[in-house]
Amino acid sequence: MGERRVHQGAQFEFITEPVDLPNGRRVDLDILLHPGAAAVVPFLEDGRVLMIRQYRYATGGELLEIPAGKLDPGEAPEACAIRELEEEAGYLAGRVEKLGAIWTSPGFTDEIIHLYAAYELERTTQRLEPDEIIRLVPMTLAKALAELSGPVVDGKTATALLLAAARRADHSEGCFPERSTRPG
């Protein structure tokens, strides 16, 4: 017997699937199917990071996060990051750079979040979804990194901030070949 849909929600599908493991065992695994997502670390002109405080029902309160959201069908991750930055923070990105990607919870979901940094921001209008309650919180990158020592932090935000900080450190030392100029 193959995959069995357990539940189809408004945005996600939950399945139970028989799986042959590499050790020869056969087990039924529960998987939350997810279309993927993108998240973006927005850098303001003065070098500060534009964080958001967002109400998250599942956590029982607000989280300090970076703008992020689910990929629309057929949408490229970079386009999603740009769209979410505009919708949640009210900024257009003049330039984005890929930082990496993460599996969010590989024990039960196939969700991958693609991580970006955004620069050359231009103010526009927020377009929040009905379930989004968001406050903009600009802060230095150092302050944002210090916030990661809190009791429980958002994983995508922590990873993206650390990758962005590493990238900025490497840029300042000329460690990125794609950024260096070559003679002739």
Q: Which of 86, 85, 77, 91 has the alpha carbon at shortest distance from 45?
A: 91
Fold of domain 37-174: Nucleoside Triphosphate Pyrophosphohydrolase (3.90.79)
Band of pLDDT at residue 144, cut at 50, 70 and 90: very high
Tokens of 48: 């500060």
- Integer Rg of the chain from CA: 19
Q: What's the whole-number mean pLDDT along residues 83-88?
A: 98
> Distance between CA 76 and CA 148 in Å, rounded?
29
Kindly report, residue by residue over 37-58, the tens digit of the pLDDT.
999 999 999 999 999 999 999 9
Residue ranges of the domains in the chain? 1-33, 37-174
Cross-strand partners of 77: none
Tokens of 131: 């379930």
> Distance between CA 25 and CA 3 in Å, rounded?
17
pTM value is 0.88
Specify whether the CB–CB gap between 118 and 95 falls below 8 A: yes
Q: Strands 112-123, 37-42: parallel, antiparallel or unpaired by DSSP? A: parallel
Return the SS3 of 132.
coil
Strands in 26-33's sheet, in edge-to-edge order, are 4-8, 13-20, 26-33
Band of pLDDT at residue 171, cut at 50, 70 and 90: low
Band of pLDDT at residue 179, cut at 50, 70 and 90: very low
Q: What's the whole-number mean pLDDT along residues 133-160?
A: 96
> Distance between CA 154 and CA 147 in Å, rounded?
10
